[in-house]
Amino acid sequence: MLKTALHFSHQLLSDCVQPGDVVIDATMGNGHDTVFLSQLVENEGHVYAFDIQEKALESTRKKLEKQNIQNTSLIKDGHQNALTYLPDNTMIKAAIFNLGYLPRGDKQITTKSKTTLSAITSLLTILAEDGRLILVLYSGHDEGMSEKEEVLSFAETLSQDSYSVLTYQFINQKNNPPSVLCIEKKEAK
């Protein structure tokens, strides 16, 4: 069976993240990706997780405490400000974005193209070779569709000499199912 967008995004992470890596959950949400990433990097790695909603931090904190996970930093701020929270000279192996709104949250609070593109641009500057930025794009609402179109347009402009860019989506399903965008940084020649 073909993987759902979420399962495929986790496969892309599993294929590149190793114990000891530094990674980012750019949209913490209910904490599922934060927990997943913390398990991939193990105790010697670290996860920086971002969200603007206190509800997201509370949900994630509870999940981490329940599993006694301590290799994470939960930050109440937008992903566009991620670099201000990382130690100097930090390189990341991966970042994941689940765009849209918080599941079971206020649907009026959504990610926005402007801040998402700012986050992508800044994180590309600290992405390690063979590292990946992975975005799960939810286009089933107006803001999400606009954000998807702008993010894909930006990704198409990335140099093929420096990045490989992949999209993954089901094209015969109703209601605009989520799709995946993966930006992988190539090794320097």
Residue 174's pLDDT band, with cuts at 50, 70 and 90, is confident
pTM to 2 decimal places:
0.94
CATH of the domain at 63: 3.40.50.150
Closest CA relative to residue 150, chosen from 162, 135, 172, 160: 135
Domain range for 70 = 5-185
C-alpha to C-alpha distance for 96 and 55, rounded to whole angstroms: 19
Tens-digit pLDDT profile for residues 115-165 = 999 999 999 999 999 999 999 998 766 776 788 899 999 999 999 999 999
pLDDT of residue 84: 97
| pLDDT tens sequence across 11-64 | 999 999 999 999 999 999 999 999 999 999 999 999 999 999 999 999 999 999
Q: Where are the alpha helices (DSSP H) in the chain?
A: 5-14, 32-41, 54-66, 113-124, 142-156
Domain count, the chain: 1
CA–CA distance, 79 with 168 (Å, rounded to integer)? 23
